Amino acid sequence: MRFGAILAFAVCGCVRADFSYHETLRQARAASAATRYFHANRMAVYTKNHATVVDLDKETVTEIDFAKKTYSTHPLAQVKPASPEGPRAASKAMAEAKSFGVLRATESIVTAGDLTVDCWLATVPGYDDAKTFLRKLGEKAGYGSTLPRALEAFADAAKEILSLPGAPVETTWKWESGETFRLDLSDLNAAPVSGSKFDVPAGFKPAPAGR
């Protein structure tokens, strides 16, 4: 998972508390998993053989390849924001509620252009600090992603979801074309995160230019 994809879904002040959670993205017959860690003004996203570390203070993104034992750091580039004429998201709270393990979540429907998001939100202690980071990231680098279509609608919906109260433990994104994917959050935890999660491991070398 590279930086363009990790924005999926990112203001003054800084994030003071640590937080982490596991996320699973399901689309068609494929699924991918990652774990996000938050500490101060940094976020690390870990997949099987890769980590992406975003530092908002330094405005840098560091990509770490554990298989090749290499890393690269580049600026947190500004992504062109959606135009004022683009799709604007709106949300509607629903009466439905259901349980996700020990969490009790309520439903909100977010719409933007031809995109509809069914979002289940639960109150999770500590998640607001992670949400603050994601909002700051969205403001600095845009709320978009590398999804192949409906970039502005996706970005607007992601921004709207971050404005809603609670943690989006399950979100189902569906376009009018029928394209659908679901993002599930689990193991939401406000325990301290080791600073080593945000560091390049000792002995790793800079990745060759152009890779």
The answer to the question of residue 33 being in a domain is: yes
The answer to the question of residue 73 being in a domain is: yes
Has residue 16 got a pLDDT over 60? no
Residues whose CB falls within 8 Å of the CB of residue 202, separated by 6 or more in sequence, listed in order: none
Residues whose CB falls within 8 Å of the CB of residue 104, separated by 6 or more in sequence, listed in order: 97, 98, 122
Number of domains in the chain: 1
The answer to the question of residue 209 being in a domain is: no
The predicted-structure confidence for 158-181, as pLDDT tens digits, reads as follows 889 999 999 999 999 999 999 899
The predicted-structure confidence for 127-157, as pLDDT tens digits, reads as follows 999 999 988 888 887 765 433 344 577 888 8
Of 32-41, 75-84, 92-101, the least confident: 75-84
Share of the chain above pLDDT 90, in %: 64
The answer to the question of residue 205 being in a domain is: no
Strands 19-27 and 180-189, how do they pair? antiparallel
The model carries a pTM of 0.85
Has residue 1 got a pLDDT over 70? no
Q: 168: domain range? A: 3-199
The answer to the question of residue 51 being in a domain is: yes
Q: What is the CATH number of the domain that holds 79?
A: 2.50.20.10
The answer to the question of residue 89 being in a domain is: yes
How is 110-136 classified by DSSP, letter by letter?
EEETTEEEEEEEE--TTHHHHHHHHHH
Has residue 30 got a pLDDT over 80? yes
